[in-house]
């Protein structure tokens, strides 16, 4: 099993490196699609690395070849599943960081000289107009809203997701701001 686990973490490291390099070369386009493509392109690398890691581990730590018995197949598939789950965890962390107003507030506080700001200073530090424009562009690019006659309206997909998210917020009694 160790060979699959090691290989999954090696592939995650390669994935993060590839994403960082790709995101530093504009235009990036749809970021989730870019990350999915990078992840999928690294699947054959997972296969090759798996056999390399398996061969490098001592016999007592390694495992049988995937086609020899179920233990070998389980180790291979376990690592592949772990790689997929690590990818999903990365996406969660990425999008929380990218879309979180709380993170922006903390960064504004950290970047200030005194590491403290009044509410008015905090409001001035954040470009709310640009944030709103970017969020609406994200919604449009992902098919949740359309712009018609300089107004925004939800698509069928947007209405469905708004009902789901709204129902969850009401069920959990979350505040309007999050």
pLDDT of residue 175: 76
145-148 and 151-154: which strand pairing? antiparallel
Q: Which residues make Cβ contacts (< 8 Å) with residue 117, sequence separation at least 6?
A: 108, 109, 125
**Cα–Cα distance measured from residue 43 to residue 86, given in angstroms and rounded to the nearest whole number:** 13
Residue 124 lies in a domain: no
Strands in the chain per DSSP E:
145-148, 151-154
Answer yes or no: is 127 within a domain: no
Looking at the fold, whether 160 and 73 belong to one and the same domain comes out as no
Question: Cβ neighbours of residue 35 under 8 Å, at least 6 residues apart?
Answer: 19, 87, 90, 91, 94
Domain that holds residue 22: 2-99
Please give the backbone phi and psi of residue 148, each rounded to the nearest 5 degrees, phi first. Answer: -140, 125
Asked, for residue 78, whether it belongs to a domain, the answer is: yes
> Domain end: 34, 67, 99, which one?
99
Same domain assignment for residues 24 and 87: yes
Alpha-carbon torsion 60, 66, 69, 73, what sign? positive
At residue 97, the pLDDT reads: 84
What whole-number distance in Å separates Cα of residue 66 and Cα of residue 57?
A: 15
Domain membership flag for residue 64: yes
84 shares its domain with 163 = no
- Domain-embedded: residue 113: no
* 88 assigned to some structural domain: yes
- 94 shares a domain with 149: no
Q: Are residues 83 and 6 in the same domain?
A: yes
The number of folded domains in the chain is: 2
- Per-residue pLDDT tens, the chain, 178 aa: give them: 678 888 999 999 999 999 999 999 988 778 888 999 999 999 999 999 988 887 787 776 667 777 777 877 888 899 999 999 999 999 999 988 887 888 888 988 999 888 899 998 888 888 888 888 888 988 998 899 999 998 999 999 999 999 998 898 889 888 766 5
pLDDT at 177: 63
Q: Vertex 90, ends 125 and 47: CA angle to 5°?
A: 150
| 28 and 79 co-located in one domain | yes
């Amino acid at each position: 099993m160790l060979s699959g686990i090691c290989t999954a973490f090696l592939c995650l490291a390669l994935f993060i490196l590839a994403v960082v390099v790709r995101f530093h070369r504009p235009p990036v386009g749809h970021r989730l699609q870019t990350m999915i493509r990078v992840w999928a392109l690294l699947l054959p690398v997972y296969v090759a690395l798996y056999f390399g890691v398996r061969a490098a581990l001592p016999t007592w730590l390694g495992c049988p070849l995937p086609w020899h018995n179920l233990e070998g197949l389980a180790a291979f598939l376990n690592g592949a599943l772990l790689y997929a789950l690590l990818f999903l965890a990365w996406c969660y962390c990425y999008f929380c960081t990218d879309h979180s107003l709380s993170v922006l507030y903390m960064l504004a506080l950290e970047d200030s000289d005194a590491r403290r700001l009044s509410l008015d200073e905090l409001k001035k530090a954040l470009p709310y107009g640009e944030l709103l424009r970017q969020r609406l562009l994200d919604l449009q690019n992902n098919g949740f809203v359309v712009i018609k006659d300089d107004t925004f309206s939800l698509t069928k997909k947007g209405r469905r997701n708004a009902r789901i998210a709204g129902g969850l917020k009401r069920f959990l009694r979350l505040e309007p701001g999050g």
